[in-house]
């Protein structure tokens, strides 16, 4: 795998998909449909998926592709594949809250190693470089010209005063009860995979997720966090979260900056 080419393609496709998403987001109205699991899907999800999938298949035809919006791709087996969530945070999109992202990642041997997370409404873009390190690129963004890249590293946490980020749309009592086990300085909420990026950038130190997620929801953010020195572990036994699981469904997990003393569930 040519990682320099991979990063350039991920970045360009994320920007192109983000532009298409914003066209629909800023329109007067857009259609909302329900998938078989009753989760919402919009024209923006479908348009971004078509664009990204075509681009990845053209550039990397020999690498299996898994994408949320194509059920046939969920039959892919193996530990190495491309994985896409073309619009993570559809509820944020529908409610015009801005916390939605484009997510593209490479999983190798069950581990997300390269990824891009782009939040077009917030004009924030995070991605791993060819060597695996994570940067945030500052806008304005141009497809063929890379802007300033700020290297990211997780914060050095103080266990007595942690900054916690939690889901904006999926917060529940179980999550609050678990967070209450920690000494928390402050809390913030965010939608979509931006939560991983806030830990990667040092804006938060702990992100517990006690709810259903799929591998396409987390792979790109996981790669971004890992490239900044962070980790993602299973909630139940604190072992590393792996990818390529049957059905691509994740267990509950904790994303954090090393130095946080994880509490038992």
Q: Is the pLDDT reported for residue 168 higher than 80? A: no
User: Which residues are 115's β-sheet partners?
Assistant: 105
pLDDT tens-place string over residues 103-136? 999 999 999 999 999 999 999 999 999 999 999 9
- Fold agreement (3-151, 162-256): no
According to the model, what pLDDT value does residue 116 have?
98
pLDDT tens-place string over residues 48-91? 999 999 999 999 999 999 999 898 889 988 899 999 999 998 88
According to the model, what pLDDT value does residue 94 have?
83
Question: CB of 209 within 8 A of CB of 193?
Answer: no
Q: How far apart are CA 49 and CA 215, in angstroms?
A: 16
For the chain, give the percent of residues with pLDDT over 70: 94
Q: Is the pLDDT reported for residue 36 higher than 70? A: no
Q: Is the pLDDT reported for residue 153 higher than 80? A: yes
Out of 3.40.50.2300, 3.40.50.720, 3.40.640.10, 3.30.540.10, select the CATH number for domain 3-151: 3.30.540.10
According to the model, what pLDDT value does residue 39 have?
65
Specify the CATH number of the domain 162-256. 3.40.190.80
Scanning the structure block, which residue is given the tokens 């963004």? 141
The confidence band for 40, taking pLDDT boundaries of 50, 70 and 90, is low
Residue among 124, 186, 126 at smallest CA distance from 154: 126
pLDDT tens-place string over residues 20-32? 999 989 887 666 6
User: Which residues are 36's β-sheet partners?
Assistant: none
Task: Report how far Cα 56 is from the mean position of its chain's Cα atoms.
Answer: 18
Dihedral sign computed on CA atoms, order 245, 228, 45, 93: positive
What are the residue boundaries of the structural domains of the chain, listed by start? 3-151, 162-256
Q: Is the pLDDT reported for residue 12 higher than 60? A: yes
């Amino acid at each position: 795998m040519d990682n320099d080419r991979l990063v350039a393609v991920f970045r360009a496709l994320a920007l192109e998909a983000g532009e298409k998403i914003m066209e629909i987001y800023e329109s007067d109205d857009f259609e909302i449909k329900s998938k078989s699991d009753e989760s919402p899907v919009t024209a923006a999800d479908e348009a971004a998926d078509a664009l990204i999938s075509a681009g990845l298949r053209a550039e990397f035809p020999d690498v299996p592709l898994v994408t949320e919006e194509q059920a046939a791709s969920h039959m892919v087996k193996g530990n190495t594949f491309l994985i896409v969530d073309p619009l993570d945070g559809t509820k944020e999109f529908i409610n015009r809250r801005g916390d939605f992202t484009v997510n593209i990642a490479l999983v190798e041997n069950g581990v997300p190693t390269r990824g891009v997370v782009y939040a077009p409404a917030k004009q924030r873009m995070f991605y791993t470089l060819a060597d695996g390190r994570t940067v945030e690129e500052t806008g304005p963004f141009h497809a063929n010209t890379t802007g300033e890249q700020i290297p990211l590293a997780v914060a050095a946490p103080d266990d007595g005063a942690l900054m916690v980020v939690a889901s904006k749309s999926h917060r529940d009592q179980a999550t609050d009860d678990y967070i209450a086990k920690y000494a928390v300085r402050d809390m913030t909420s965010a939608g979509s995979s931006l939560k991983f990026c806030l830990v990667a950038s040092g804006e938060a130190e702990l992100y517990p997720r006690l709810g259903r997620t799929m591998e396409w929801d987390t792979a790109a953010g996981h790669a971004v966090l890992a490239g900044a020195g962070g980790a993602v572990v299973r909630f139940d036994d604190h072992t590393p979260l792996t990818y390529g699981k049957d059905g691509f469904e994740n267990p509950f997990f904790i994303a954090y900056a090393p130095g946080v003393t994880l509490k038992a569930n």
